[in-house]
Structure 1
Amino acid sequence: MGATTPQPVPWSRGSLVALAATALALTCALLVHLAFVFLSIAPANALNVKHRDAVDAYVQPEFGQDRKLFAPNPMQRNDAVGARVNTQGPDGRYHVSEWINLTAQDIAAIHGNPAPSHTDQNMLRRAWDAYVATHRVRDDRPKGTRGQLTRDYLERVVLQRTGSTWKGERIVSVQVAGRFTMVDPPGWSSEQASDTTDYRLLPWWTVTDQDHRSL
């Protein structure tokens, strides 16, 4: 007897309904994602101005866009972000570390590297810039709903560099500071750059086990 040709198993009605529902849900999620990303980079309009906080909360920092490819605006100042930590030893005493130049660590990782990491180039700087843009200088209080998000993000970026312990002692709080000096303009330019260095010292932030989660 010859072998019989196997017949394809027909899709059940329930399977087709489930497949259609899954496809519809994925399509809706994709459309919502594209809408939020579009609103984040679109010129100011009634819709993205009204829902700016919601759009920024979704897009930043994972899906941040930069559309300056054909009109770059190079940085005109030298930034340095540093941190120090407060630790607690086995005897219960607290110790404050020396300042750690985090920007210098990034620069050291970039120099001589033909394919430097985006993390070393931009993560710390963008975390600092986001915090500065969303917090008042005089009291470091947030300006809007994104304040807590950018504060937590900057803290986690710093803790990712320092770890949970420092010199064998548990880190219980961290303080971040920035130093900024304007770059001298070229000789042919008539611009007058400030020759002073600006500093910004942030308050101490308490560190918990939750802050180290997934770092």
Structure 2
Amino acid sequence: MDAYDKGSNARPVPGEPEAAVPDSRPPEGQETSDGHETADDHGTPDSHGPPVGQTPSARIPQQYGDQQEQPYEGQQYGGQHDDERYDDTALAGPPLPPPPAGIAALSLPYQIAAALALAVVAVAACVHVGMVFLHVAPSNTVTKQHGQAIDEWIYPEFEQNWKLFAPNPLQQNIAVQVRADVRAADGEIRTTRWYDLSALDGVAIDGNLLPSHTQQNELRRAWDFFVATHDNANRPNGLRGALSEKYLRRIVVLRLDREQAGGRGAVVQQVQVRSRTTNVPPPKWSQEQVSDKPIVRQLPWWPVSEADRAAGTRPGEPTGTEASAR
């Protein structure tokens, strides 16, 4: 009995040679049992049967040795669905966290030091903002009770000036001038000429692309500070009057020493300050009429103490020029 007598799915008997599957196709040119003649172009794309030389068994899915077709999407694969397939990224584990940065990257002692420094800066910033707010705010209970402490914090470095945003800005040229009684090297007391300190600042600023804040504003702000704290008779009208007078006096003494007023080695004994104010002329197309006559405000003589002199300008000490020559 042949190996395939019992059907096309019967397995061959072990030990016996595999029998060929009989070709049930009639020879070429013969009619089949249904009366149709077989085609002469077997194996062409239009033929309905298998190509020439290929048995029908080749169309049967192979069961041994060959790989099966890949399962289509949604088909179970190895007992699991598509969404349960093996993920090789699971072996890598979760991504590593980024390395610490900023203060966290420092050691514990440095972290503590940095935190303390930031806390000090934050407290100082809050105090400064609070002081400035109380200074520019309208008069209230806090400013009346702690006004002196607020003024000591603000003046003169953090003084607030809103003239830039005023509806009527300054339209005057103010020149601050000073002269002094000096004791010369031979012991004689002499009175110097008037030094126009504002004009000297203007010469230093002219042509300078990056002038310093001191050259532009120190003298001008000192004079504004004095005028705001004194009446027309040059009497102080508050606690800041004495401070503004001392501030202006020290500036003019330093400037006189820089100009070597009275000659080399001369010591300033007393100073006198005055201002010369002139109106800025209006443009030619304007019909506004302003006076061109200067207004002079002259202050009394101020004695100069040892505290008013800068280091190197006190009696018995070499000046800056002499010290550099040495």
Q: Normalization by structure 1: what TM-score?
A: 0.78
Measured against aligned partners, the alpha-carbon deviations of 1:76-126 in whole angstroms (never above 9, x if no partner) come to 011111111111134432100011110110000111111122211111111
TM superposition shift of 1:212 = 1.8
Q: Distance in 2 between matches of 1:49 and 1:191?
A: 42
Partner AA of 1:124 in structure 2 = L
TM superposition shift of 1:146 = 0.1
Taking a change above 3 Å as real, the CA distance of residues 48 and 112 of structure 1, as seen in their structure-2 partners, is farther
Equivalent residue number for residue 155 of structure 1: 249
2:197 aligned residue (98, 102, 111): 102
Equivalent residue number for residue 111 of structure 1: 206
Equivalent residue number for residue 186 of structure 1: 283
2:180 aligned residue (65, 80, 85): 85
Query: In the alignment, does 2:233 pair up with 1:128?
Result: no
Q: Normalization by structure 2: what TM-score?
A: 0.54
Q: Which has the higher helix share?
A: 1
Equivalent residue number for residue 76 of structure 1: 171
Taking a change above 3 Å as real, the CA distance of residues 10 and 124 of structure 1, as seen in their structure-2 partners, is closer
Taking a change above 3 Å as real, the CA distance of residues 82 and 69 of structure 1, as seen in their structure-2 partners, is closer
Measured against aligned partners, the alpha-carbon deviations of 1:29-73 in whole angstroms (never above 9, x if no partner) come to 44322211122233x242465244442232011112345666675
For 1:1-215, list aligned pairs within 5 A: 27-42=122-137, 44-47=138-141, 50=144, 51-67=146-162, 74-138=169-233, 140-163=234-257, 166=261, 167-168=263-264, 169-213=266-310
Larger radius of gyration, structure 1 or 2?
2
Partner AA of 2:274 in structure 1 = A
Taking a change above 3 Å as real, the CA distance of residues 48 and 65 of structure 1, as seen in their structure-2 partners, is farther
Q: Greater CA deviation, 153-162 or 44-53?
A: 44-53
Paired residue secondary structure (1:163): helix
Instruction: State the aligned residue count.
Output: 202
Partner AA of 2:242 in structure 1 = Q
TM superposition shift of 1:183 = 0.9
Identity %: 44
Uncovered stretches (5+) of structure 2, i.e. residues with no partner: 1-106, 313-326
Taking a change above 3 Å as real, the CA distance of residues 213 and 90 of structure 1, as seen in their structure-2 partners, is closer
Paired residue secondary structure (1:157): helix
Taking a change above 3 Å as real, the CA distance of residues 72 and 102 of structure 1, as seen in their structure-2 partners, is farther
